[in-house]
Amino acid sequence: MPEEKERMEEKPEQVIDYLRISITDRCNLRCVYCMPAEGVESMSHEQILSYEEILRFTEAARGVGISRVRLTGGEPLVRKGAVGFVRMLSGLEPGLKVSLTTNGVLLSRYAGELREAGLARVNISLDTLDPGTYRSITRVGELEDALAGLRAAIDAGLEPVKVNVVVLKGLNDDPLPFARMASELPVHVRFIEFMPYFGEHGKWYVPSDVIRARLEAAGKLEDVESPEGWGPASYARMKGAQGTLGFISPVSCHFCPSCNRLRLTADGRMRTCLFDRNGYDVKRELRSGASGERLREIIVDELERKRAEGDQKPPPGAHVRAADHMSRIGG
């Protein structure tokens, strides 16, 4: 028992320094793993947090150790004023790092403005390089729009540019087209295991090890350091490639005990986990005039809850139904 106690005391504290903010529940695509075919009823303007309310929360979070902020959606660029909000966040404090996750469809229009507003890095959700498959997965999108956004991000000097690929068995589980992209362009492709968010775990799930094996069959991979990463991806590079290939394995090797993320949903609920069923109603606090000190107290309490629950998350491969659609939580 004394030895067990000593091991527990030596366990380093879980560092949580990364805030993901969903600024809208709306999206211009209808991806099959993110929302149902009929879409999701949009929240009203009054239901979602204003930019000023999000800024107040971010200021409080910054005061308790949050140093990285990522804007998500839905699709964040469909919300009016998104570029201006990036400028607001970037001006909040010099040490605050601001990034964006987007499907890229509108990025060709805004990449330069976002860079000037203080955005340094961008993640582009792009699940296939085949136009027909792209339409099948997104239901409504055009691949060329997303690729134009990718090129605009590179041209604007956003660095790093990462490409997120949710691997779906039978739809986009051939990684070689993306390997060629990473060879030719300075982008960092991350293959992400499908999570059983809507159920049917076996329908689409492909382990990261399978994708890596397919890549290794085409050429030797050399493990490399993360390109200024904020998350749990491991990275490799093919010989002579400009970019890298990454692997994110939330199912086969879940990383809950080391997760560094806190989430704020578009309707103002703070979640400690993607599968947090309730979250804390921050909107109520903000709209009742909560002080910065009060907000910091709430965030600290939730961070402690996250640390306490870190080893109690579902085991790899377990089916869990989250409390809301992915498009409203921010992924």
What is the pLDDT at residue 230? 67
In a domain, 2, yes or no: no
Which of 314, 199, 308 has the alpha carbon at shortest distance from 252? 314
The helix or strand, by DSSP H or E, that contains position 61, with its residue range, turns out to be: helix 51-62
Q: Going by C-beta distance under 8 Å and a sequence separation of 6 or more, which residues neighbour residue 154?
A: 161, 185, 186, 187
In a domain, 4, yes or no: no
User: pLDDT 10s digit of each residue in the chain, 331 long?
Assistant: 444 444 444 555 678 899 999 999 999 999 988 887 777 788 999 999 999 999 999 999 999 999 999 999 999 999 999 999 999 999 998 889 999 999 999 999 999 999 999 998 999 999 999 999 999 999 999 999 999 999 999 999 999 999 999 999 999 999 999 999 999 999 999 999 998 755 555 689 999 999 999 999 999 999 999 887 667 789 999 999 999 999 999 888 877 777 888 999 999 999 988 777 778 999 999 999 999 999 999 999 999 988 887 655 554 444 444 445 565 566 5
What is the pLDDT at residue 321? 42
In a domain, 1, yes or no: no
What is the pLDDT at residue 229? 65
What is the pLDDT at residue 312? 59
What is the pLDDT at residue 12? 59
In a domain, 3, yes or no: no
In a domain, 208, yes or no: yes
Q: Quickly count helices (H) and strands (E) in the chain.
A: 12, 12
In a domain, 80, yes or no: yes
CA distance 163 to 297: 36
What is the pLDDT at residue 324? 55
Q: What angle do CA 242, 248, 251 make, to 5 degrees?
A: 160
User: Domain tally for the chain?
Assistant: 1
Whole-model pTM: value is 0.90
Q: What CATH number did the domain enclosing 320 receive?
A: 3.20.20.70
* Residues pairing with 122 in the sheet: 100, 161
Tell me the residue range of the domain where 115 lies: 9-329
What is the pLDDT at residue 7? 42
What is the pLDDT at residue 23? 97
Reading the block at residue 320, the tokens are 């869990």
What is the pLDDT at residue 328? 59
The helix or strand, by DSSP H or E, that contains position 53, with its residue range, turns out to be: helix 51-62
What is the pLDDT at residue 9? 46
